[in-house]
A = this chain, B = another copy of it.
Amino acid sequence: MDLWFTEKQTEDYGITAKITKTLHTEQTEFQDLAVIETNEWGRMLVLDGCVMTTIRDEFVYHEMIAHVALSAHPNPQKVLVVGGGDGGVMREIIKHATVQKAVLAEIDGRVIEVAKQFLPEIAVALTDPRVDVQVIDGIAHVKEHKEEYDVIIVDSTDPIGPAVGLFAKEFYQSIYEALKPDGIFVAQSESPFMHSELIQRVQNDVSDLFPITKLYVASIPTYPSGLWSFTIGSKRYDPAQIADEKRADGLSTRYYTKALHQAAFVLPAFVKELVKA
């Protein structure tokens, strides 16, 4: 019997992958959580029917959400990740030797536990001594901390259900205040092909708060359209420039490179049009 998992990425379009095994399914307090095994992408973490990450292509998302902001900062010591319970972003963050403490604020503790069990390659950093895993509401955490973080990374699900508040301007305001005077913030901001209005709104909201706001992109096959965007807000440093060449050189990566750091900000014409001031 052939079993296929289909994610309807829109009402009218989706991706479909042959399943070799369903490793786990549960309804958590916050969402429907599953881990399935596919031939094409290996194990997949699926939340509310949407692919969050897969063993085969997770490196793109995790490297590109972490290393751009961290490499643009000359000395990132304290980092916050909101969401990101699978641990992939943390694995990349602790590749930066400057980082002394990285806090994970994940609202759904089950994501952390299931990732540790079924996606150990991704969750590997969650037991690192520099990583402080907290099962808390990231929105509240950000509100309660002022001028504390060098870099804040918002690794959210899509802007439906539990993640709606992670795309709100009030949240970006709290992030601004939780950052040190030279801090940098980055959030995944969906697909330029599929979610242009969201990208525009996020860009407007972030640029109302941060003196420097930019968009960059990366190719993630299992995300809608395969082209994904990241919105970055910076208080002082140009996020398209690498602050510490030697540190960036030392990163062991499969997608991110120093040259690609800058090239990722060179947008296709229709995307450039979306975010022009």
Q: Of all chain B residues, which has the CB nearest A260?
A: B266
Say which size band chain A's interface belongs to.
35 or more
CA distance A18 to B10 in the complex (A): 10
Task: Confirm or deny: A204 has a beta carbon within 8 angstroms of a beta carbon on chain B.
Answer: no
State which of B13, B217, B225, B266 has its C-beta within 8 Å of the C-beta of A259: B266
Pairwise interchain contact B57-A193, C-beta atoms closer than 8 A = yes
B12 near A13: Cβ-Cβ < 8 Å:
no
Q: Give min CB distance, A43 to chain B, whole Å.
A: 14
* A267 and B260 contact, CB distance less than 8 A: yes
Given A10-B40, A13-B16, A39-B12, A253-B226 contact (CB < 8 Å): no
Asked whether any CB of chain B lies closer than 8 Å to the CB of A174, the reply is no
The answer to whether A253 and B269 have CB atoms under 8 Å apart is: yes
Most buried by B among A226, A256, A263: A226
Q: Which residue of B lies closest to A268 (CB)?
A: B255
- Which residue of B15, B255, B270 contacts A255 across the interface (Cβ within 8 Å)? B270
Residue in B15, B257, B263 whose beta carbon sits within 8 Å of that of A15 in the complex: B15
CB nearest neighbor in B for A227: B219
Expressed in whole angstroms, the minimum distance between the Cβ of A208 and any Cβ of chain B is 26
B219 adjacent to A268 (CB under 8 Å): yes
B-side contacts of A57, CB under 8 Å: 193
Query: Interface 1/0s, chain A 243-277, versus B by CB < 8 A?
Result: 00000000001111101101100111110100000
Chain B, residue nearest A266 (CB): B263
Please state if A40 and B13 are interface contacts (CB–CB under 8 Å).
yes
- Alpha-carbon distance A254/B193, docked complex (angstroms): 12
Residues of B within 8 A of A212 (CB): none
Residue in contact with A17 in the complex, picked from B13, B267, B269, CB distance below 8 Å:
B13
Is A29 in the interface zone, CB < 8 Å from B? no
Residues of B within 8 A of A272 (CB): 257
Q: List chain B residues, Cβ under 8 A from A219.
A: 217, 219, 225-227, 268
Hey, which chain B residues are within 8 Å of A10, CB to CB? Answer: 40
